[in-house]
Structure 1
Amino acid sequence: MINKKSSILSLVITFAVILGMGSQLVHLRFNNDLDAFFPLDDPDLIYYKSFTEKFGHDNDYILVGLENNAGVFEQDFLLRSDSVLSDLEAIDGVKSVISLINLKKLVKSPMGYIELPYLHLTDPSQLTKDSLKITKEPHVQDQFLSSDHRSTKLIITHSKFKDKKLADAFVSQIDQTLANYPFDKVRLAGRPIGERAYVWAVQQDFTFFVIFSGLTILIMLIIFIRRPSMVIASLLVSVLSVVMTLSFMTIVGKEIDILSTLIPSILLVVSMSDIIHLYAHAQDEYSKGASMSDAINQAVKKVGFATLLTSITTAVGFITLISIRVQPIIDLGLYSAVGIMFAFGLTYLLFPQLMFLVEPRLKRKRSNPILKRFLDTLYHAVIQRQKLILALFAIASVLIGIGITKLEINAYLIDDLPKDDPVKEDFTYFDTQYGGSKPFTMTVWTPDSAELYSKEIITLIDSIATLAHQTLNANNLVSPASLVKSVYQMQHSGLAKNYKLPETDREWRQVFSTIQKGKIEERFFKVTSGNLARISGFSKDFGSKDGTDRAMAFKADLDQWLDKSVLDYRITGSTQLIEKSHETLSMNLMKGLFAAVIIVSIIAGYMFKSWRMILITLIPNLFPILAIAAVMGFFGIPINLGTSIIFAISFGIVVDDTIHFLSKMREERLAGRSMPYAIKRTIFATGEPIIVTTIILTSGFIIFCFSQFAATFNTGLFVSVSFIVALIADLTLLPVLILYFLPRRTLKKSDNT
């Protein structure tokens, strides 16, 4: 029973807890680790971690493209490039800078091995000859010269950064260094560059979403609640839900990443549902002549359990995201679920108490004539046009089935960035002008620990590298085979035509001896560790689907002729892990949605003690989920790690209105009313709150359509569409299903749960 003393006590305790938690918000941080999107507890991830212990991470590099419109082989440009290179090498954290500018090859001479530069920077007369020689060495030209010969590439390898600050500082130093020199265009690509671009966009989105979601909710509250004091109370509950959730995330050490920026907006919007239903019932009771305290108590009694169930089902929808074994998605699900339960708790700890203490001047509730006519028309359609409604939904189901068959899983590395984003343009530039910007990595090993540097093994490795280039879109490959070719070229006057594998057994022995005694790998590039070797390079971003298809074709081809008792292989690396996350997405999504369906079914079964009610509950709520999947299929929008969250968010939220509808209908049936009349009273009692919450939810999520990220845009658009489809299904299909499949016997109080 609500009273002044209990209300004040509840407010004081709640605000004290929030104040204590909110003090932690000063420690809130943003996270830029894209490696977090690797699949958790995966054998390939475990293998890659062991690989990094031997060879380091395959994505610890930055690509720099220096453009000169007059052409690369211009002395002034090359001298400036050389100066930049020296300055870049001096930056703390840089391990090496490899480019055509400082590239040299060892050549055997009568006086021993000597280093000869590919470019004679101080001798303009030599540059034309140098350019001709370079074009005869595709392995050098493709690596360091753009296809239009208007830019040259620098490869900066760097240390692994422990946190965002170090990475940002490193990239800033590179930016400052490059800014000191006049080039026609400077392009950058690589993991630190992509991460910084994402973090900047995340921070902008985070601020934008919080502000505009709040404004949108405020406008909706003013329209539908109208009383200023209750508008402020409603907004306060929502804002404090966000504060508690972000504080909780800070306390447990969770940083804001690309997906968790959605959490504040989601909570601001979703928390409104409980408030609207609670306020609508309190106003309804007040309109019947109850006092303010009695109206509040009756409202809490009538909708408290229903809103608890809707909060649980919404939280369940988010929790099912743990089935997608990617940490940022798991975190989005878990912390959203926590936030939803915070919002439910705050709704009942603050809103009724504020309403009681403020005692807003509520007007006796009047039916909106337009809405009343709409609901009356809707009711008669449900009663008189049942077959037509079922037929229309059946036709829609056929179209949905067709659309779903067109749905596919696919993703690009930086596809979420805007089309005109300079970072995205730079990544695309390296894909079109060079061999790509994504790292490509695979390993080979001798199962019996046999020596890698043997004629048989190196020949096999060279064949595998050739097949990888042809099939896997792998370019600029470095491997033990390429090292052998380089040494052989070195031993034969450095001529371009001699970049090949040795021909005679004597030549093989000479090459192997030079590699081992000259410690070539230590001086240049480590490609072996014991009986394990790596083949690494770059690949173009043609999408995860293309990568998966190519990998299957590569394995099918290679397994036909490779004797794995002699040499075995494995595709690994950060690119492969991301592609695998997308590859397993479909099954994980099905598992998550199946789990959500089971849990919601248990809740529906508990509420209504009827297996028919389980089906009646699920059909209108699965329909909007399948509908947005079909729309995505028709418009060619793929499922990926970004868009996968759409289905869990939608299912968790759309089921709320169904539960409110069924809860009210059961109340009417327990009161002894006939099925048609119970449905009529249910439509008129819940129709307005359901429509209002749908408008508020849609308005809140449509804000995401202003995001810089394609995945966030799609989330806002399709979740909003699912709300509208769910509204139509709840007010038309749901009552028709009830009339068709639910027994029409009069319920007794003993049937109440």
Structure 2
Amino acid sequence: MLGLGLAALISVLFVILQPQVKFDYDFEQFFPQDDEELRFYQEFRTTFGNDNDYLLIALGQERGVFDQEFLDEALAIQDKIQALDLVEAVFSLLELEEPIIGALGVSYRNALDWSSDQKLEQSKKRLLSHPQYAGNLISQDGDYLLLMVSNKQRISKEEGDVLNLAIKEILSDSEIPLFYTAGKIKAQGEFVDLLQAEFGFFLAISFVLILLLLFLIFRTWWGVLLPVIVLSVGIGWTIALILLTGKALDVMSVMQPTILLVIGLSALVHLLSYYLKYLGNGVEKSKAIALTFKELFLAVFLTCFTTALGFSTMYFTSAVSLKQFGLYTALGVMVMFLAVLLITPGLLHLFSPLKAAENDRFKEFWRVYLGDALRWTWGNRKLVLSVFSILTIFSIFALSDLKINGYLLDNLPRDHELVQEFEFFDREFGGSKPLEIFLEAGEEVEDVFDLEFLRALDKVEHFVTEHYESGVIISPLSLVKALNQAQNGGNPKAYDLPSRGQYQRIQPYLDQALLQSNFKLSDSTKRIGRLSTRTADMGSHRSFEIKRDLETFVKQEVDPEILKIQLTGTSNLIDKSHETISTQMARGLGVAIILVGIIAGFLFRSWRISLMVLNPNVLPLLWMCGVMWLLDIELKLTTAVIFTVAFGIAVDDSIHFMTKLYNELGKGKRLLYALKRTYMETGKAIILTTIILVSGFAILTLSEFGVTFYAGLLISLALFFALIADLLLLPILLLPMDKVWREKRRRKNA
């Protein structure tokens, strides 16, 4: 009862401290933090600003945007948005003025003039044929007009929600019939809303599932009430600890309640099964509780410890979000172990009966079923080994053929409303994903506005337009092209790289145009600049292919003494994080496997035994690769995490099996007899816990988050594969160890 008192004291302490629930989502936490390219981008944005602090707004109607009433309403919307506190600027055709260089100097005309029907028609003809406007600030068919809202730099999640809501209200209250929005503040808000809904949903549905499974397994009210109390306390303690340390619940946190529930329930099923076995053998209640915890304490501790160890290896990744998820989940697993250890014995004293109810038919079913399974396994050793070998060879081939590929909105299904809106901008306005290229003037040119530099940059821009299929490019060259157009009376056909003579005539206007530009194109020295555009979210695999082609093209076609470039920006970092994190997770998984092997080797005093513990848990991970290959599931940041999670949980059953076997052998029994006793007694608990674990993780397939859905599907399959390996492969692998155990016993006796 001392444990119950201590648990109550801990719970009261958490209630007094009152942890505040907070949700957040910041995709920059998935960036590889120790990466050179991240440091480069951080320096880049000190000069040019954040490349994703904007919101795209498309306004449209079925008869097109070249309508006076529509444009008046659009201008009113722009003015209202511009007046919002967190908005720095709104850029669109509505107030854009084009320079015209004439004999008397520079004059300006409205890019879009709707003061009369005639001027509106002239504007329509000019804008839809202009390479800088069509498909950028206005859709190619003229049905939608784009507003680019630059919001406060490095805007916080809370501020972004306020701004997004204010803009949404302005658009909803307007008379514009069609509008779409896409950008960072919208994506973060939508993610967190969905996160909050899913967090509560999975927590609730997991408890419902547990109640059902507990009733089916134990068929008693105390067999349901006791685990629910223990698991509720364990999850409550974990969430309280997370919040008290200042960590907000994020997209990865959605999985934590289900993970902790199934892990805690797995331990409780083993404990209650052994407890009922002792009661059924006539052991007095208090003694049965003591014997249960004495026999299973080490096994339960090791299963929780190795699971926590698996999660903690995520700390070796460079993404803040994964580091925190790994450490906090590892902490949660050990907190759940503490809750089981402190609360379960006291509740068994209070709730459980003095003796177990007899169910001879149920006991006979397990005895016959497991006995037949073990005999079949030993009688078909060659068949079992052959099937396992074939599946493993196929899975190794599948692993070698898996490609790393991820998307900007990877955690959402492609038919989600948010994804559809982003794809609308990809289709109508050249893209929603920012693309930034850092430009530096070489030793042979004066600055980024030198004509030779611009000629080299023109080659790069043609490559970007063709291969990235990008929207309109903003760069030092685009400014010079605009001045060339101004020099030629505003003719859109003159929006091109000027000749040397034309360039000399527009040079006097460069500084003034640079000051009046809506985008910062260079620093004060003019030795560095930027190329900025937008692309569709084509996936990290395709992006890396184009990046390699760009590097090859620049190396072959561009003189570094004239122009140096480097791809940068948040999109580049997101694409890189998929590959970097996948590689780091593979290393972390390798570390986890080695550490579990070392622990098993020390525990069982045999390195060969430790390898046999690992085999039934490494093979399911390889088979999972085979399933991913068959279902065309790609490796990415979200799926790479799953391997470590699956291994950390799957190894539990093998440890329970081997701990029981070790105890039986310690009593002086021969290996065959000890294996049979272990298989008959532990097999039932392993099957039941796997059913619980698979059912718990299968619930996650109901999620709209990609990381949660794939976790549910693949971890469920991995745990099922691990069960098959534990019941079929492990007994076969252990048979040749009879001589090893006899030799160990002989040495011990000597």
TM range (shorter): over 0.9
Give the C-alpha shift of residue 340 in structure 1: 0.3
Aligned to 1:728: 724
Residues 745 and 600 of structure 1: CA distance in aligned 2, closer, same or farther (over 3 Å): closer
Deviates more, 1:704-713 or 1:568-577: 704-713
The residue type equivalent to 2:435 in the other structure is F
Aligned residues: 743
Q: After superposition, what is the alpha-carbon deviation per residue over 1:591-638, rounded to whole angstroms, capped at 9, x for unaligned? A: 011101110110110111112112211111011111111101111111
Q: After superposition, what is the alpha-carbon deviation per residue over 1:317-369, rounded to whole angstroms, capped at 9, x for unaligned? A: 11122233222222111111000000111111110122123343441565533
Aligned to 1:4: none
Give the C-alpha shift of residue 200 in structure 1: 1.1
User: Which of 131, 153, 165 is the aligned partner of 2:124?
Assistant: 131
The residue type equivalent to 1:520 in the other structure is L
The reply on whether 1:676 has 2:672 as its aligned counterpart is: yes
1:36-435 map, 5 Å:
36-364=29-357, 366=359, 368-435=363-430
Give the C-alpha shift of residue 546 in structure 1: 0.7
The residue type equivalent to 1:142 in the other structure is G
1: CA distance, partners of 2:595 / 2:559:
49
The residue type equivalent to 1:405 in the other structure is S
Aligned to 1:527: 521
2: CA distance, partners of 1:102 / 1:393:
69
User: Which of 604, 607, 614 is the aligned partner of 2:610?
Assistant: 614
1:387-536 map, 5 Å:
387-446=382-441, 448=443, 450-505=446-501, 507-516=502-511, 518=512, 520-529=514-523, 530=525, 531-536=527-532
Give the C-alpha shift of residue 75 in structure 1: 2.1
The residue type equivalent to 1:360 in the other structure is P
Aligned to 2:472, the other structure's residue is in SS state strand
Aligned to 1:625: 621
Q: Does the aligned pair in 2 maintain the 1:439–1:537 contact within 8 Å?
A: yes
Q: After superposition, what is the alpha-carbon deviation per residue over 1:449-499, rounded to whole angstroms, capped at 9, x for unaligned? A: 942221111222222222222223432110011111112212221111221
Q: Does the aligned pair in 2 maintain the 1:167–1:192 contact within 8 Å?
A: yes
Aligned to 2:562, the other structure's residue is in SS state coil
1: CA distance, partners of 2:314 / 2:537:
27
Deviates more, 1:178-187 or 1:590-599: 178-187
1: CA distance, partners of 2:102 / 2:448:
28
RMSD across aligned C-alpha pairs, in angstroms? 1.9
Q: Does the aligned pair in 2 maintain the 1:317–1:652 contact within 8 Å?
A: yes
Q: Does the aligned pair in 2 maintain the 1:25–1:246 contact within 8 Å?
A: no
Give the C-alpha shift of residue 161 in structure 1: 5.0
Aligned to 1:546: 542
The residue type equivalent to 1:223 in the other structure is L
1: CA distance, partners of 2:483 / 2:50:
26
Give the C-alpha shift of residue 402 in structure 1: 3.4
Aligned to 1:3: none
2: CA distance, partners of 1:176 / 1:161:
23
Aligned to 1:563: 559
Q: Does the aligned pair in 2 maintain the 1:188–1:423 contact within 8 Å?
A: no
Aligned to 2:745: 748
2: CA distance, partners of 1:383 / 1:392:
14
1: CA distance, partners of 2:574 / 2:652:
34
1: CA distance, partners of 2:748 / 2:69:
90
Aligned to 1:339, the other structure's residue is in SS state helix
Deviates more, 1:677-686 or 1:139-148: 139-148
Residues 340 and 700 of structure 1: CA distance in aligned 2, closer, same or farther (over 3 Å): same
Q: Does the aligned pair in 2 maintain the 1:406–1:636 contact within 8 Å?
A: no
1:565-644 map, 5 Å:
565-644=561-640
Give the C-alpha shift of residue 589 in structure 1: 2.3
Aligned to 1:141, the other structure's residue is in SS state coil
Q: Does the aligned pair in 1 maintain the 2:456–2:562 contact within 8 Å?
A: no
1: CA distance, partners of 2:732 / 2:357:
32
Aligned to 1:653: 649
Q: Does the aligned pair in 1 maintain the 2:451–2:500 contact within 8 Å?
A: no
Q: After superposition, what is the alpha-carbon deviation per residue over 1:670-718, rounded to whole angstroms, capped at 9, x for unaligned? A: 2222222211111111011111111111111111011111231111011
Deviates more, 1:416-425 or 1:577-586: 416-425
Aligned to 2:683: 687
The residue type equivalent to 2:369 in the other structure is F
1: CA distance, partners of 2:128 / 2:350:
83
The residue type equivalent to 1:640 in the other structure is K
2: CA distance, partners of 1:672 / 1:638:
50
Residues 181 and 206 of structure 1: CA distance in aligned 2, closer, same or farther (over 3 Å): same
The residue type equivalent to 2:538 in the other structure is F
Q: Does the aligned pair in 2 maintain the 1:230–1:355 contact within 8 Å?
A: no
Give the C-alpha shift of residue 641 in structure 1: 1.4
1: CA distance, partners of 2:692 / 2:747:
37
Give the C-alpha shift of residue 742 in structure 1: 5.3
Q: Unmatched 5+ residue regions in structure 1?
A: 1-6
1: CA distance, partners of 2:390 / 2:117:
74
Q: Does the aligned pair in 1 maintain the 2:646–2:719 contact within 8 Å?
A: yes
The residue type equivalent to 1:388 in the other structure is L
The residue type equivalent to 2:602 in the other structure is Y
The residue type equivalent to 1:408 in the other structure is K
2: CA distance, partners of 1:262 / 1:22:
24
Give the C-alpha shift of residue 316 in structure 1: 1.2
Give the C-alpha shift of residue 86 in structure 1: 1.4
Residues 464 and 419 of structure 1: CA distance in aligned 2, closer, same or farther (over 3 Å): closer
Residues 743 and 184 of structure 1: CA distance in aligned 2, closer, same or farther (over 3 Å): farther
Q: After superposition, what is the alpha-carbon deviation per residue over 1:485-519, rounded to whole angstroms, capped at 9, x for unaligned? A: 112212221111221222125x3344333122x15
Aligned to 1:467, the other structure's residue is in SS state helix
Aligned to 2:473, the other structure's residue is in SS state strand
The residue type equivalent to 1:575 in the other structure is S
Give the C-alpha shift of residue 199 in structure 1: 0.8
Q: Unmatched 5+ residue regions in structure 2?
A: none
Deviates more, 1:250-259 or 1:572-581: 250-259
Q: Does the aligned pair in 1 maintain the 2:89–2:151 contact within 8 Å?
A: yes
The residue type equivalent to 1:484 in the other structure is V
**TM-score, with structure 1 as normaliser:** 0.95
Identity, in percent, stands at: 31
